[in-house]
Amino acid sequence: MSTTLTIQPRPIDPSVDHEIQAIVSGAGSGSTCNTDLAAGPWDFDTRPGYGPGASMGDVIPTGSPRQGMLPQAYRDASDEELDARIRRAKETLGDRVVVLGHFYQREEVVRHADYVGDSFQLANAALEHPDAEAIVFCGVHFMAETADLLSQPEQAVILPNLAAGCSMADMADIDQVEECWEQLEELYGDMDAPDADGLVPVVPVTYMNSSAAIKGFVGRHGGIVCTSSNARTVLEWAFARGRRVLFFPDQHLGRNTAKAMGVPLAQMPMWNPTKPLGGSDEQTLADARVILWHGFCSVHRRFTVDQIDKARAEHPGVRVIVHPECPMAVVDAADEAGSTDYIRKAIAAATEPTTFAIGTEINLVQRLAAQYPQHEIFCLDPVVCPCSTMYRIHPGYLAWVLEGLVAGDTLNRITVPASDADPARVALERMLAAKPSGSAA
């Protein structure tokens, strides 16, 4: 007689917000990086800074967008009331609106999204709805800008909380990038002039996680955009056209990708915009293959090799997967590294019950743990510390912008000026046309 083994699903609450509230009130175990996380984001809207969470120690650029105070009715509403109001507004709006939710958004927001994905998947999802009047992007500022670049001119892209920026994207400031380019031009000569091998001195490459101004800069200077999924293909594209690559804003994605392609670390100097020649000497820059901008993601910088060692000691056989925005030592120590989509697919594809230790944002990890109860899935970082700016999108803001649309008001519209939008689209189109080496044209 054969017996069928059934795996009992573990009841896991996918809400990071519930966990934070429980820890801060003393009803739950564990710790958070900041107890202010339990407050409403409106407590921080009028203050400078990124707010509590992983980026709270980062320096916010002067003039970063601030969010005006959320009306009292939304601040006072219970979770249940906000949930019902969002549902009602969405029902009333029907096809007039598309709600996009990034993987790192809180559960209470994601459950209302028509699409859930990474920034580029979501911008593409919006393309499928050219007749929608509004695209509500529950993510951060550069994502709403990208959606605006790719959507129809008459469509309004809405960011529910204007203070939801991205500390990494902010680290590549357009004035500093222009200044860097001028210094490199003085060193290398005419940046448009190919050498005997047909290669220009530098091809700029920007990660999707950058402002539209940076994407526009890249497009104007023969460069290209990349995502964490296609960074290698994009670097191959750039090396086919240039002697070197200037990669921004994320030094870790640039370093991890170029290292995997065989570029020696000595040929990857870092460019610190506060120092002359970025802190390097002329010879180092002459020999460079990839110049890495001094940027990082404070969420992924929290992961350490010690955490991986601990996970392996406590969970023999654990499969460790980290995001390539993590520091090089962490990527090297992990079993695998890949984008959020890679992580999601790797877990979905596991046929045997498996223990996964994941190095990416807690909201995604917790949601995957709830979605795949046959596996044990946990975040490498034991401290609950979400992305500060993703966390600024509370259901209260989503209800506010949706009810605004019902009332005929387009609140928090994000628009990219044509001077940046046109070259930024060129850089995005180059990315879409880039093919992995060895693939058919």
As a whole number of angstroms, the distance between CA 359 and CA 378 comes to 9
Q: Taking CB under 6 A as the rule, does residue 389 contact ligand SF4?
A: yes
Identity of the residue, 132 or 149, whose beta carbon is nearer to ligand SF4 in the bound complex: 149
Q: Taking CB under 6 A as the rule, does residue 167 contact ligand SF4?
A: yes
Identity of the residue, 24 or 166, whose beta carbon is nearer to ligand SF4 in the bound complex: 166
Please give the distance of CA 14 from its chain centroid, rounded to a whole number.
20
Bin 408: left if φ > 0, else alpha if -120 < ψ < 50, else beta: left
Return the exposure string of 25-37: e unless at least 16 CB atoms fall within 10 Å of the residue's CB, then b.
Answer: eeeeeeebbbebb
Helix, strand or coil for residue 203? strand
Q: Taking CB under 6 A as the rule, does residue 118 contact ligand SF4?
A: no
**Binding ligand SF4 by CB under 6 A: which of 134, 368, 390, 411?**
390
Identity of the residue, 176 or 298, whose beta carbon is nearer to ligand SF4 in the bound complex: 298
Return the exposure string of 118-127: e unless at least 16 CB atoms fall within 10 Å of the residue's CB, then b.
Answer: bbbbbbebbe
Q: Taking CB under 6 A as the rule, does residue 384 contact ligand SF4?
A: no
Identity of the residue, 74 or 303, whose beta carbon is nearer to ligand SF4 in the bound complex: 303
Identity of the residue, 129 or 302, whose beta carbon is nearer to ligand SF4 in the bound complex: 302
Q: Taking CB under 6 A as the rule, does residue 140 contact ligand SF4?
A: yes
Identity of the residue, 19 or 170, whose beta carbon is nearer to ligand SF4 in the bound complex: 170
**Binding ligand SF4 by CB under 6 A: which of 387, 398, 411, 431?**
387
Q: Taking CB under 6 A as the rule, does residue 151 contact ligand SF4?
A: no
Identity of the residue, 34 or 209, whose beta carbon is nearer to ligand SF4 in the bound complex: 209
Considering the complex, what minimum distance in angstroms separates the CB of residue 69 from ligand SF4?
23
Cβ 121 vs Cβ 341: under 8 Å: yes
Helix, strand or coil for residue 303? coil
- Where are any strands of DSSP class E within 193-294? 200-207, 224-226, 242-248, 270-271, 290-293
Helix, strand or coil for residue 373? coil
Phi, psi torsion values for 333, nearest 5 degrees: -80, -20
As given in the structure block, the two tokens for residue 170 are 């902010």
As a whole number of angstroms, the distance between CA 115 and CA 110 comes to 9
Q: What character string, x for contact with ligand SF4 (CB under 6 A) and - otherwise, covers 218-257?
A: ----------------------------------------
Considering the complex, what minimum distance in angstroms separates the CB of residue 180 from ligand SF4?
21
Q: What character string, x for contact with ligand SF4 (CB under 6 A) and - otherwise, covers 293-332?
A: ----xxx---------------------------------
As a whole number of angstroms, the distance between CA 309 and CA 330 comes to 10
Q: Is 431 exposed, middle or buried (0-12, 13-18, 19+ CB in 10 A)?
A: buried
Q: Taking CB under 6 A as the rule, does residue 172 contact ligand SF4?
A: no
Identity of the residue, 51 or 201, whose beta carbon is nearer to ligand SF4 in the bound complex: 51
Site residues (CB under 6 A) for ligand SF4, limited to 194-213 = 209
**Binding ligand SF4 by CB under 6 A: which of 107, 361, 381, 403?**
361
Q: Which residues bind ligand SF4 (CB under 6 A)?
A: 55, 104, 140, 166-168, 209, 297-299, 361, 387, 389-390
